[in-house]
Chain A
Amino acid sequence: MSCSLNERLPKGRSLRYLSRRFAVLALTLWFAVTVNFALPRLMPGDPVQTKLATIPGISPLARRALERQFGLDTHQSIVGQYFSYLGQILTGNLGRSFTYYPTTVSSMIRQSLPWTLGMVGFATLLAAALGCSLGMVAAWRRGSAGGNRNARLDTFLVPLGVMFGATPPFWLGTLLVYFVAFKLGWFPIGGSRTPGAAGGLSGTVDVLKHAVLPAFTLTLVSLGGWVLLMRNSMLTVLNEDFVKFARAKGLSNRTVAFRYAARNAILPVFTQFAMALGIVVGGQVFIEIVFSYQGIGYWLLQGVLNEDYPLMQGIFLIITVTLLVANFLADALYVLVDPRLRVEGGK
């Protein structure tokens, strides 16, 4: 973006585009929140009875106290409950976990989110950056198997990417835990840090050591997808007339590849990337369980296992909201990245 926005941007059109996007965001958000409200109420079972069944030594007479603690003794109508739920969400109150009562769900999310963001976020960034670069180079040096020495990368990378992309992450993770962590002992078997580990530099190293294997698994598994996406997108662009024209002008390979082809090819990748960032927040449930990583996915599993509605609802809410907002931001940024949108006002 070498030029200033104000010059180029026909204000009315992009504003209309953005406001339409925003309306869609608001509507989907409302819908997601409503579904989130309805789901636990449609599920069979009784969280208090579950708690009475799973806590050893608890008296059946605890029922009323638990119902009160969980706010299940309410005589509010369903409509009233719905509106107080909306009110609570707007004030950031996600309720208290049933399982870990009286811990608030928001504090649990606050504690676990940084771990997920750090580990999964880093892996996603790494996979996307590495995958896009590799995909770009692979497309540039494209070619079928055979004599073209330059096409080696393409020949190997594509099948390899497909293979790792199709590998279930929990399987790859289990293999890594067994061979690299257990047999070789290079990395810790699980957890996010050594209990009671000191802070400072050694603490940081400890945290990083714990993150290496899960992050590596995630990167390996998702890398293939990025490579393929970027490669295919790039291939399409390379066949466009303006690329041929650029070559004909005698521009350097570098300029053609980066400034003409890659810049256009990255657009679909961009959407994908926004989605992936949204998914980061949801954690990678399988990865976090295999490595006992105390991120949000681990808590989601605990919530589901214990019928902990507020915990589940809180996590679902965070996931949907981030996903939707990330999507919206991607749409909004499109206006900046894709000049066509500015001219046509978004199709």
Chain B
Amino acid sequence: MRRTGRVVAHVFRRYARATRLKVLLVTLVVLSGVALAFVSGLSASPRSSAVTTGGTLKVEMPWGTMPDNFNPLTSQGSQAGGTLSCLYEQLFYFNPATSKLTYVLGTSYKWTNKNLTLVVNTRPNVKWSDGKPFSAADVAFTFNYVKANPSIDVNGIWSGTTMSSVTATGPNQVTFKFSKPDTPALVIFAAQFIVPQHIWSSITDPATATNTNPVGTGPFTMASYSATTIVYKKNPDYWMAGRPYIDQVLMTAVKSNDTALLDLINNNIQYTYDAITNPAKTYVPKGPANLKYWWPVVNANFLVFNTTKAPYNDVAFRKAVAFALNTPLIANRAYFGAIPASTGAAETGAIPGQIPSWINEQPLKSLEWTYNVKKAKSALAAAGYKLKGGKLTMPNGKAVPKQSILIGGPGWTDYITIASMISQELKAIGISSSVIQAPWATYSGNLPAGKYDMAVTWAWGAAGGPSPYFIYNYNFAKAQITGKTNMSRYTSKAIEKALATYAQSSDPKVQKAAVQAMAKDVMTNVPVIPITARTNFFDYNSKDFTGWPSAKNPYNAGEAPDSPGGKLVLINVHSLGLK
């Protein structure tokens, strides 16, 4: 306590002059309340003026140790925890659970010139943590720096989009030019972390740079490093007035999820990220008042058919299988009620939170399926399949041989449950199958190579995509067979056309129609059967802090603490004060 007090005093002395202005600003924020919340999209629920500032938020993750590396340009997970939430920021944050956009270093964007030019306005009056001003030049520098160093293009900005140039066209304006219209690129480059030109322009090998004196625009600055604990102090010059509320974030790396969970239960920490088994039974009862979890859906688990193989190349067969699977029961056995089954509109494969903004459910109702073995059998019979003595025969007279269901992720008990139950349920329609538990190398290699019959896997590439376009593109586009994310190897003219229409347009109406066409195609042709949802695993303890994201106030998607979504937690939580 004493030490915290001293730190606070120090901060106050140092920024005494700025304090009065800040009080004014905080008051302004509070007064404009709801309005500002809408504009910035960052603020938590409107609250009374009694926000307690200060306090140390403790975050714990099973990282083992953290490297002395604060480089935001290499792939996620290679830098010390907190780099991507406390220190560095992006232009925009797209919430995959809701499709909502949050403006971060970018304040607006506009497509012009037949969608060949994108103009992004950058936030004025932002300072790097070393005091130098941030400008559009830094943004342009970052993108061109990534272009010059393809090994740090971890978002695939230059290899995966048609972007041709990025230039600063004003102190607060960046212009992106494209060789072909490619509007989904916005989401891809929004994920790029922006670094200061005055520091990185002299770094020649950014892929291996460790950036031990990080300078960013984020809400915190790195105060001390050890391999197991990093202290992040509030950035007093952070551009969002009055934020963060808390003084400090402590990021601690522990050896296992169990340790972190135990500390969460014992009120030692406030925030971790862990797929707790049966949380309603094993976790919440240990402190029902404080122990909370919020797991928003951001992806789905699919039963994927190898559509190049018989009998999976037959639509009628695939659709019949859909009726044979009791997905609510499977979800309940695999996730104990914590994660829902993919039923109704979720059968389009889209993330449920995105459906209201993108898909009109009504016209698709007739294509939906529910567990009905009788219907499955009659659909098979109508397509010429015969069920004799519990064994299915194909229309060409050949018996369906024993099939296999490939699963990976060694020790993933949820996948083992899902696959075994599917195997069990398929028996009812005369298909015998075995479950193959493959090591990662085999699983992730065989899936894109088409070396399997059926498999349980997730929608690859869905994470971070704010519209169903991303799931459909990565999983059903022809180009993604070689891109190694189209595992079912399903392709259709309707999807190719809709993907192109969507990518060439910046008109939400046109894009919505394209998504609708793809949803319809997927529900008609069933290249995959969505079985259950896939969620993030945000676990928190509300004893001393409030302002957490929730289903009512989903300002993020329940991400891990070392991500742009996690940052939103860090700038929204505030202390409940002394009790």
- Please list the residues of chain A having a beta carbon within 8 angstroms of any beta carbon in chain B: 43-46, 49-66, 68-69, 96, 100-103, 190-191, 195-196, 292, 294, 305-307
Chain A hits for B151, CB < 8 A = 65, 68-69
| B205 nearest in chain A by CB position | A102
Chain B hits for A49, CB < 8 A = 444-445, 448, 484
Least Cβ–Cβ distance between B508 and chain A, in angstroms: 23
Q: List 13 A-B contacts (CB under 8 A).
A: A45-B445, A46-B441, A50-B441, A53-B443, A58-B76, A62-B154, A62-B155, A68-B151, A69-B75, A100-B67, A102-B71, A195-B253, A305-B440
Q: Is the Cβ of B463 less than 8 Å from the Cβ of A58?
A: yes
Chain B hits for A103, CB < 8 A = 67, 69
CB of B240 closer than 8 Å to a CB of A: no
Least Cβ–Cβ distance between A298 and chain B, in angstroms: 9
Q: Is the Cβ of A64 less than 8 Å from the Cβ of B76?
A: no
Chain B hits for A59, CB < 8 A = 154-156, 160, 188, 191, 461, 463-464
Chain A hits for B156, CB < 8 A = 59-65
Chain B hits for A190, CB < 8 A = 255
How far is it, in angstroms, between the C-alpha of A99 and the C-alpha of B193 when the chains are bound?
Answer: 21
Least Cβ–Cβ distance between B98 and chain A, in angstroms: 16
Q: Is the Cβ of A65 less than 8 Å from the Cβ of B483?
A: no
New A-B contacts (6) at CB < 8 Å, excluding given A59-B156, A59-B464, A65-B153? A44-B441, A60-B460, A62-B156, A65-B154, A96-B208, A305-B440
With A45-B444, A55-B76, A69-B74: A60-B563 Cβ-Cβ less than 8 Å: no
A-B interface pairs (CB < 8 A), number: 129
How far is it, in angstroms, between the C-alpha of A46 and the C-alpha of B445 when the chains are bound?
Answer: 6
Q: Is the Cβ of B69 less than 8 Å from the Cβ of A57?
A: no
CB of B210 closer than 8 Å to a CB of A: yes
Q: Is the Cβ of A61 less than 8 Å from the Cβ of B207?
A: no
Chain B hits for A61, CB < 8 A = 155-157, 159-160, 188
Q: Is the Cβ of A65 less than 8 Å from the Cβ of B69?
A: no
With A45-B444, A96-B208: A66-B75 Cβ-Cβ less than 8 Å: yes
- From 264 to 297 in chain B, residues with beta carbon under 8 angstroms from any chain A beta carbon are none
Q: Is the Cβ of A57 less than 8 Å from the Cβ of B226?
A: no
Least Cβ–Cβ distance between A94 and chain B, in angstroms: 14
Which 4 pairs show the lowest CB-CB distances between chains A and B? A61-B156, A45-B441, A61-B160, A195-B228
Tell which of A64, A102, A103, A305 has the most Cβ of chain B within 10 Å. A102
Pick the contact of B440: A54, A65, A68 (CB < 8 A).
A54
User: Count of chain B residues with Cβ under 8 Å from any Cβ of A?
Assistant: 53
How far is it, in angstroms, between the C-alpha of A68 and the C-alpha of B150 when the chains are bound?
Answer: 7
Q: Is the Cβ of B154 less than 8 Å from the Cβ of A58?
A: yes
Q: Is the Cβ of B159 less than 8 Å from the Cβ of A64?
A: yes
With A44-B442, A45-B441, A50-B440: A101-B78 Cβ-Cβ less than 8 Å: yes
- From 449 to 464 in chain B, residues with beta carbon under 8 angstroms from any chain A beta carbon are 460-461, 463-464
Q: Is the Cβ of B445 less than 8 Å from the Cβ of A44?
A: yes
Q: Is the Cβ of A53 less than 8 Å from the Cβ of B560?
A: no
How far is it, in angstroms, between the C-alpha of A65 and the C-alpha of B485 when the chains are bound?
Answer: 16
Chain B hits for A57, CB < 8 A = 76, 463-464, 559, 563
Tell which of A55, A62, A190 has the most Cβ of chain B within 10 Å. A62
With A62-B155, A69-B207: A45-B76 Cβ-Cβ less than 8 Å: no
Q: Is the Cβ of A64 less than 8 Å from the Cβ of B153?
A: yes
CB of B381 closer than 8 Å to a CB of A: no
How far is it, in angstroms, between the C-alpha of A292 and the C-alpha of B464 when the chains are bound?
Answer: 34
Pick the contact of B483: A45, A60, A100, A306 (CB < 8 A).
A60
CB of B101 closer than 8 Å to a CB of A: no
| A307 nearest in chain B by CB position | B441
How far is it, in angstroms, between the C-alpha of A58 and the C-alpha of B485 when the chains are bound?
Answer: 13
Chain A hits for B444, CB < 8 A = 45-46, 49-50, 52-53
Q: Is the Cβ of A195 less than 8 Å from the Cβ of B229?
A: yes
Q: Is the Cβ of A45 less than 8 Å from the Cβ of B150?
A: no
Q: Is the Cβ of A56 less than 8 Å from the Cβ of B463?
A: yes
With A57-B463, A195-B229: A65-B150 Cβ-Cβ less than 8 Å: yes
How far is it, in angstroms, between the C-alpha of A56 and the C-alpha of B152 when the chains are bound?
Answer: 18
Chain A hits for B154, CB < 8 A = 58-59, 62, 65-66
Chain B hits for A306, CB < 8 A = 440
CB of B77 closer than 8 Å to a CB of A: yes
Helix, strand, loop or mixed for chain A's interface? loop
Tell which of A54, A63, A65, A69 has the most Cβ of chain B within 10 Å. A65
Q: Interface 1/0s, chain B 149-177, versus A by CB < 8 A?
A: 01111111101100000000000000000
Chain A hits for B445, CB < 8 A = 44-46, 49
How far is it, in angstroms, between the C-alpha of A50 and the C-alpha of B440 when the chains are bound?
Answer: 6
Q: Interface 1/0s, chain B 480-498, versus A by CB < 8 A?
A: 1001110000000000000
Least Cβ–Cβ distance between A312 and chain B, in angstroms: 12
- From 89 to 103 in chain B, residues with beta carbon under 8 angstroms from any chain A beta carbon are none
Pick the contact of B255: A46, A56, A191 (CB < 8 A).
A191
CB of B408 closer than 8 Å to a CB of A: yes
| A101 nearest in chain B by CB position | B78
Chain B hits for A52, CB < 8 A = 444, 460, 484
Pick the contact of A102: B208, B464, B563 (CB < 8 A).
B208
How far is it, in angstroms, between the C-alpha of A307 and the C-alpha of B442 when the chains are bound?
Answer: 11
Q: Is the Cβ of B152 less than 8 Å from the Cβ of A196?
A: no
Q: Interface 1/0s, chain B 238-271, versus A by CB < 8 A?
A: 0000000000000011111000000000000000
CB of B538 closer than 8 Å to a CB of A: no
Chain A hits for B480, CB < 8 A = 60
With A58-B463, A65-B150: A53-B408 Cβ-Cβ less than 8 Å: yes
Chain B hits for A196, CB < 8 A = 226, 228-229
CB of B474 closer than 8 Å to a CB of A: yes
How far is it, in angstroms, between the C-alpha of A222 and the C-alpha of B210 when the chains are bound?
Answer: 42
Least Cβ–Cβ distance between B419 and chain A, in angstroms: 17
Least Cβ–Cβ distance between A28 and chain B, in angstroms: 29
How far is it, in angstroms, between the C-alpha of A202 and the C-alpha of B379 when the chains are bound?
Answer: 74
How far is it, in angstroms, between the C-alpha of A307 and the C-alpha of B443 when the chains are bound?
Answer: 12
Chain A hits for B159, CB < 8 A = 61, 64-65
Chain B hits for A68, CB < 8 A = 150-151, 207
Q: Is the Cβ of A307 less than 8 Å from the Cβ of B440?
A: yes
How far is it, in angstroms, between the C-alpha of A43 and the C-alpha of B485 when the chains are bound?
Answer: 21
Least Cβ–Cβ distance between B534 and chain A, in angstroms: 10
How far is it, in angstroms, between the C-alpha of A75 and the C-alpha of B48 when the chains are bound?
Answer: 63
| B536 nearest in chain A by CB position | A56
Chain A hits for B78, CB < 8 A = 100-102
- From 208 to 241 in chain B, residues with beta carbon under 8 angstroms from any chain A beta carbon are 208-210, 226, 228-229
Q: Is the Cβ of A195 less than 8 Å from the Cβ of B252?
A: yes
How far is it, in angstroms, between the C-alpha of A109 and the C-alpha of B512 when the chains are bound?
Answer: 53
Least Cβ–Cβ distance between A267 and chain B, in angstroms: 43
Least Cβ–Cβ distance between A97 and chain B, in angstroms: 9
Chain A hits for B408, CB < 8 A = 53
How far is it, in angstroms, between the C-alpha of A338 and the C-alpha of B150 when the chains are bound?
Answer: 61
- From 403 to 452 in chain B, residues with beta carbon under 8 angstroms from any chain A beta carbon are 408, 440-445, 448
Chain B hits for A307, CB < 8 A = 440-441
Least Cβ–Cβ distance between B60 and chain A, in angstroms: 11
Least Cβ–Cβ distance between A303 and chain B, in angstroms: 13
How far is it, in angstroms, between the C-alpha of A98 and the C-alpha of B496 when the chains are bound?
Answer: 35
| A61 nearest in chain B by CB position | B156
Chain A hits for B228, CB < 8 A = 195-196
How far is it, in angstroms, between the C-alpha of A101 and the C-alpha of B69 when the chains are bound?
Answer: 10
How far is it, in angstroms, between the C-alpha of A66 and the C-alpha of B408 when the chains are bound?
Answer: 22
| B71 nearest in chain A by CB position | A102
Q: Is the Cβ of B255 less than 8 Å from the Cβ of A45?
A: no
Least Cβ–Cβ distance between B254 and chain A, in angstroms: 8
Pick the contact of A53: B69, B253, B440 (CB < 8 A).
B440
Chain A hits for B74, CB < 8 A = 69, 101-102
Chain B hits for A46, CB < 8 A = 441, 444-445
Least Cβ–Cβ distance between A95 and chain B, in angstroms: 12
Chain A hits for B442, CB < 8 A = 44-45
How far is it, in angstroms, between the C-alpha of A65 and the C-alpha of B75 when the chains are bound?
Answer: 9
